[in-house]
Amino acid sequence: MAVLKEYKTTTYEVDYCGKKLTLETGRLAGQAQGSITARLGDTVVLATAVVSDEPREGMDYFPLLVDFEERFYAAGKISGSRFIKREGRPSDEAILAARKIDRPIRPLFPKNFRNDVQVVVTVLSYDGENDPDPIAIIAASSALMQTHAPYKGPISAVNISLVDGVIKLNPTMDELEASDLHVCLAATKDRVMMLEVEANEVKEEVVIEGIEKALIELKPIIEIQHKIAEDHRKQEVEEGEKPVDPSIAVKAEVHNYVADKLRTALAELDKEERDKQIKIFEKEILDRFEGTYKQVDLKSAFAKLVFEEVRAQILENGIRPDGRGIEEIRPLHVETSVLPRTHGSALFARGESQSLSVVTLASPGMEQLIDTMGEETTKRFMHHYNFPPFSTGEVSPMRGTSRREIGHGYLAEKALKPMIPENGGFPYTIRIVSEILSSNGSTSMAATCGSTLALMDAGVPIKKPVSGIAMGLVANADASEYKILSDLQGLEDFAGDMDFKVAGTKDGITAVQMDTKIEGLTMEIVKETFRRALSGRLEIMDAMLSVIPEPRAELSKYAPRIEAVQINPEKIGEIIGPGGKNIRKIIEECGGKDVLAIDIEEDGTVMISAMDPVAGEKAIAMVKSMTREIKPGEIITGEIIEIKRDRMSGKEIGAIMAITPKLDGMIHVSQIANRHVEKVSDVLKVGQTVTAKVIEVDPMKGRISLSMKAAAESSNPDKA
Task: Report CA 95 to chain centroid distance, whole Å.
Answer: 11
- 182 vs 377, residue with greater confidence: 182
Q: How far apart are CA 476 and CA 482, in angstroms?
A: 6
Q: How far apart are CA 488 and CA 498, in angstroms?
A: 9
The model's pLDDT over 335-381, given as tens digits with 9 standing for 90+, comes to 999 999 999 999 999 999 999 999 999 999 889 888 887 777 889 99
- Whether the predicted pLDDT of 434 surpasses 60: yes
Residues in the chain: 720
The CATH topology of domain 561-626 is: Ribosomal Protein S8; Chain: A, domain 1 (3.30.1370)
The model's pLDDT over 103-122, given as tens digits with 9 standing for 90+, comes to 999 999 998 899 999 999 99
pLDDT of residue 718: 57
Architecture of the domain whose range is 635-715: Beta Barrel (2.40)
Q: How far apart are CA 85 and CA 487, in angstroms?
A: 46
What value does the mean pLDDT take over residues 146-167? 95
SS (H, E, C) 16-59: ECCEEEEEEECCCCCCCCEEEEEEECCEEEEEEEEEEEEECCCC
Strands, E, within 166-236: which ranges? 166-169, 181-187, 192-202
pLDDT of residue 688: 94
The model's pLDDT over 436-463, given as tens digits with 9 standing for 90+, comes to 999 998 999 999 999 999 999 999 999 9
Percent of the chain whose predicted confidence (pLDDT) is above 70: 97
**pLDDT category, 708, cuts 50, 70, 90?**
very high
**pLDDT category, 238, cuts 50, 70, 90?**
very low
The model's pLDDT over 22-62, given as tens digits with 9 standing for 90+, comes to 999 999 999 999 999 999 999 999 999 999 999 988 777 89
**Which CATH number describes the domain made up of 248-317?**
1.10.10
Q: How far apart are CA 269 and CA 267, in angstroms?
A: 6
What value does the mean pLDDT take over residues 664-675? 92
Pairing of strands 43-55, 115-125: antiparallel
Those residues whose C-beta lies under 8 Å from the C-beta of residue 505, and which sit 6 or more positions away, are 201, 419, 464, 465, 466
pLDDT of residue 268: 66
Q: How far apart are CA 221 and CA 18, in angstroms?
A: 12
**Of 187-196, 275-284, 642-651, which has the strongest mean pLDDT?**
187-196
What value does the mean pLDDT take over residues 521-542? 97
Could you tell me where the DSSP H helices lie in 218-339? 219-232, 248-266, 271-288, 295-317
Q: How far apart are CA 40 and CA 14, in angstroms?
A: 10
User: Residue 357: enclosing H or E segment and its boundaries?
Assistant: strand 353-362
- Amino acid symbol at 452: T
**Which CATH number describes the domain made up of 10-235?**
3.30.230.70
Q: Where are the domains of the chain?
A: 10-235, 248-317, 332-394+402-547, 561-626, 635-715
- Whether the predicted pLDDT of 235 surpasses 70: no
Those residues whose C-beta lies under 8 Å from the C-beta of residue 397, and which sit 6 or more positions away, are none
Using alpha carbons, select from 15, 36, 284, 10 the residue that is nearest to residue 145: 36
Lowest mean pLDDT among 214-218, 576-580, 614-618, 661-665: 661-665
**pLDDT category, 570, cuts 50, 70, 90?**
confident
- Whether the predicted pLDDT of 225 surpasses 80: yes
pLDDT of residue 292: 84
- Whether the predicted pLDDT of 3 surpasses 90: no
Q: How far apart are CA 379 and CA 331, in angstroms?
A: 35
**Which CATH number describes the domain made up of 332-394+402-547?**
3.30.230.70
CB 138 within 8 A of CB 39: no
CB 348 within 8 A of CB 533: no
Q: How far apart are CA 439 and CA 186, in angstroms?
A: 28
pTM to 2 decimal places: 0.86
- 276 vs 533, residue with greater confidence: 533
Same fold, 332-394+402-547 and 561-626: no
The model's pLDDT over 277-305, given as tens digits with 9 standing for 90+, comes to 888 888 888 888 888 888 878 888 888 88
pLDDT of residue 671: 94
- Computed over every residue of the chain, the mean pLDDT equals 91
pLDDT of residue 246: 54
Using alpha carbons, select from 34, 20, 44, 38 the residue that is nearest to residue 123: 44
